A and B are shown apart, each in its own frame.
Chain A
């Protein structure tokens, strides 16, 4: 039994090492874009991997989109938490909201999704889009999302509901613009 537990631990460590090897540069980019300082960004990546080590049970395929998204969101939130602690949040709220996964416009990228949909999604406040990605792309249930983000399940539920309303409005606007 003990041996079995130890094997599991070794396996988890190996898997964590692979994640680190494969994604450290990408995650550093994510945290650097928020913190704009090398050592702080490294702290965020380290703290993010520490958090990930507690959630290894949520990771199946190390190379999947789901895993990548999970790591990106954990790192981004860790970096934002660090940033909040260091700065006056209110004064810089706008700046954080403006941080996105790369410079716009996103629709110039090749995608199987209608441009209207991507544009509408892009207009969602980040807190909603993270919940949407974890729920509908990664497939986590509300409880898991609440564990990952450290937010209550009822808040997740509210955000998903409100996010759907915003997304619907944005989609209607986008469609109007296209027709107009």
Chain B
């Protein structure tokens, strides 16, 4: 039997056709007579007629986030004991980790509402990069700074520096094969290893989260990237 190849080219060609089939199926049996509740209609009307959509909505979400953060602080103790989530303080923010079966939700909160506004994002590059790797891409966002390094065998190392803001949440894959915790500087470096050999490392420092995703890297090399 000829080997099946699942390449990007094949996927770009095939997936739209599969998608079309799925959507066609989904569109069957849609109830176009459904009567939405008055409350829903009103809320949608407000949403769709709001003036200066972007700014007002962003402000609203920001306010809601702050309220949520305040409320979360109040219920934090109950939350920690009632669920599998746990929290601890690292420098300027709190991290609440909630474990699901196949993923983990990390929510970040600032004890005081002002603290997340105090910082200005400053790009941090690793001073150490494993031998044979060279930088192939660099992305700069408002809250995220990423660098991609690649070696001759096309193994990649992705360096992500994420600034933490109030109520930021991130979802991580939880299906790793092994996990190591290593104390470094003032925090703990967590390394997650997967069956195909790649690793994801996670480290919190000051107002940032650092993540290193690598195809083929040793623990010592990860430690050096973080330490330096």
Contact = CB atoms under 8 A, between A and B. Distances in A.
Interface of A: 6, 9, 12-13, 16-17, 20, 24-26, 28-30, 38-39, 42-43, 45-46, 49-50, 53-54, 65, 68-69, 72, 84, 89-90, 93, 101-102, 106, 109-113, 117-118, 121, 125, 127, 132-133, 135-137, 139, 143, 149-155, 157-159, 161-162, 164-165, 167-168, 171-172, 175-176, 179
A37 to B, nearest CB: 12
Interface string B1-13: 1001110100110
B204 interface: no
A47 B117 CA distance: 26
Interface of B: 1, 4-6, 8, 11-12, 14-32, 34, 36-37, 39-40, 43-44, 47-54, 57-58, 100-103, 139, 146, 158, 160, 169-173, 194, 196, 198, 200, 211, 213
Given A155-B173, A157-B158, A172-B4, A26 B25 contact: no
Contacts of A139: 12
B47 A46 contact: yes
Given A69-B23, A171-B4, A179-B1, A132 B40 contact: no
A137 B6 contact: no
Given A54-B58, A102-B26, 4 more contacts: A30-B26, A53-B47, A158-B213, A168-B4
Contacts of B103: 127, 155
B71 to A, nearest CB: 14
B43 A46 contact: yes
Given A69-B23, A155-B171, A9 B160 contact: no
Contact of A102 (B15, B28, B50): B28
Main secondary structure of the interface of B (DSSP, over half): mixed
B101 A153 contact: no
A39 B57 CA distance: 23
Top-4 shortest CB links A-B: A136-B15, A154-B213, A137-B19, A42-B40
